[in-house]
Amino acid sequence: MRRSEALYQPSYRDIVDELSQPVAVFDNYFNLIYANLQFNEHVSRKPTSLFELLPNTANIDTQQIQQTLLIDGRWQSHVESQTQSGQSLYLTLTSLNSDGRQRYVATFEFSLLVTAPNLSFIHQKDPLTSLPNRYSFLERLRQRIVSAEQDPNFAILYFDIDHFKDINELYGHEAGDQLLNACAEKIRDMLRKSDVLARLSGDEFAAMVEYGEDHEMPYLCHRLMRSFERPVSVGRQTFQVSISIGIAFYPDQGTTEQQLLINAERAMFAAKKSGRAQFQLFDRKLSLKNEAQQRMVESLRFSLQYEPEQFSAAYQPLYNLQTGEFKGVEVLSRWCSPELGQVAPDKFIALAEARGLINLHSARMFALIERDVLSWCHGNEHYSPVIAVNVSVQQIDDQAFQSLILTLNEKVKAANWQLELEVIESQLMTLTDRVIEQFTQWREVGIRIAIDDFGTGYSCLAYLHQLPIDKLKIDRQFLKTKTQSRKEDQIIYAILSMANALNIEVLAEGIESDEQRERLQQLGCQTGQGFGLAKPQPWHKRLMAALPAL
């Protein structure tokens, strides 16, 4: 029995229900799949996903959580929902992966300020470094905010040790713990005695620093960077490490303890994205962008769950470029939100993937496809036109998605169409045996496999040879250039020759003019699509008309 399945068997559930701590289990999209009795008794409103528990200011996506889990082994956050008695909660999330099934287990702790009035967070210490822990730091920060009317000049610095996970894995946890202590001492030595330094989790630290002038914070960060340029000695080992730092000022960049800490953390992530070993000030424009993204996520979730009619399907015809014959359609999603207007697919599809909503979106699109395809069965018995749908790589090994796709396949086959699944090339860089196995299983039931945006990732003969695929879709960038040398034509010809040797069909995307169509005909490309041939449009019989001759 799989470990993740065993957790939900009665005997295991009884054990977890007896725990004094609230416990919840989330699937790989962070949707709630199980909560013990303590959770149900104490949490004031039961969520459907992890994100409903987080503060509104915490614009965190799955990539950030998974990155922290990969580095630290756990991810922690304040919980927006209080208990029935008004207590605050903090959660610690850990990852559980058994037999390829990803699960996330959350345990919850009560605020000691409420449950034990005689015990202050100030006395809560991190057992490894003896620094204040996250809860103690948040309480000190809350108290500092209360006194800010008299003395408002302070900032939060958020530290992360770059590539700490690599050192931990190579030299072991004992060496890693010693390195954490040494780094904490380095940081502590650069701060005033009145400044508060805390270890938040893993290799992340935060400091509450007083200042007189704004320029003091960048100066302090430069000094910290220079300090870490010197090797760190741990026993007989010497490590060359660096840190990334984020800065958030009170009150301009946060007026509550959660806002300040989250904004400092965002600035730290910006420093890491920019190359690590540097510091970044919190960027209000980035914050506004994140807040707008969060509003879009909330609207997307609501629309998919309660008003799916906001989503429609547009169909773009595919043609044989040599004969003009209709070959099929690609299904494209459209979202018209009453609140946001017409939202571009490249914006909301990525959010649906990041926030665990992609299956809800697929279910809606598949329902539209079934309705439209069944309204007009293709009558040509000599061939079945293709109906191509886009699939996220995270759905390939998802059991709920398997059920959706197999049902759709049966429906379109009954109408004499052939289902084709498109996966973006760049998403296949982590090619696994499970992906190959799933592609093979889909092909066995008559589903075609296409690689989308081919040529934009790390195109490799090795994975083309391994993958059981039927079609390559050449990215539109190879058609845009109008240079005399036509290097792009040579690339297209090379792709066509390679695909022909492997018995793989090639389709050119983004055809916008007769000149591009003629170029592709001369190069021997068989299939194409684009606005220059036909725009995406609602379902109707005229979709199946042949392409006019040049």
94 vs 79: CA distance, rounded Å? 16
Q: Are 360 and 305 in contact (CB under 8 A)?
A: yes
Mean pLDDT of all residues belonging to the chain: 84
Distance separating alpha carbons of residues 517 and 371, to the nearest angstrom? 33
pLDDT band at 10 (very low <50, low <70, confident <90, very high): very low
DSSP 83: B
Q: What is the dihedral of CA 343, 337, 303, 101, to 10 degrees?
A: 0
Q: Which of 23-32, 251-260, 282-291, 447-456 has the lowest mean pLDDT?
A: 282-291
* Dihedral class, residue 526 (left if φ above 0, else alpha if ψ from -120 to 50, else beta): alpha
- With a cut of 90, say whether residue 81 has pLDDT above it: no
Convert the pLDDT of each residue in 97-139 to its tens digit. 655 567 888 887 765 433 333 334 334 788 899 999 988 899 8
> Is 168's pLDDT higher than 80?
yes
**Per-residue model confidence as pLDDT tens digits over 345-382:** 999 999 999 888 999 999 999 999 999 988 877 666 67
What is the helix (H) or strand (E) element at residue 391, kind and residue range? Answer: none
Phi/psi of residue 72, nearest 5 degrees:
-95, -20
Q: What is the pLDDT of residue 44?
A: 67
Q: What is the DSSP string of 273-294?
A: HTTSSSEEE--HHHHHHHHHHH
pLDDT of residue 122: 38
pLDDT value, residue 28: 77
pLDDT at 94: 84
Tokens 């036909």 appear where?
534
Q: Cα separation of 165 and 176, whole Å?
A: 9
Distance (Å, whole) CA 458 – CA 460: 6
547: DSSP letter: P
How sure is the predictor about 79, in pLDDT bands with cuts at 50, 70 and 90? Answer: low
Is the pLDDT reported for residue 468 higher than 70? Answer: yes
Cβ neighbours for 272, distance < 8 A, ≥ 6 positions apart: 160, 162, 244
pLDDT surpassing 80 at residue 271: yes
pTM (whole model) above 0.85: no
Share of the chain above pLDDT 90, in %: 50
> Interhelix angle for 257-273 vs 284-306, to 10°?
100
Side-chain half-sphere CA neighbours of 218 within 13 A? 6
Most confidently predicted of 45-54, 143-152, 415-424, 454-463: 415-424
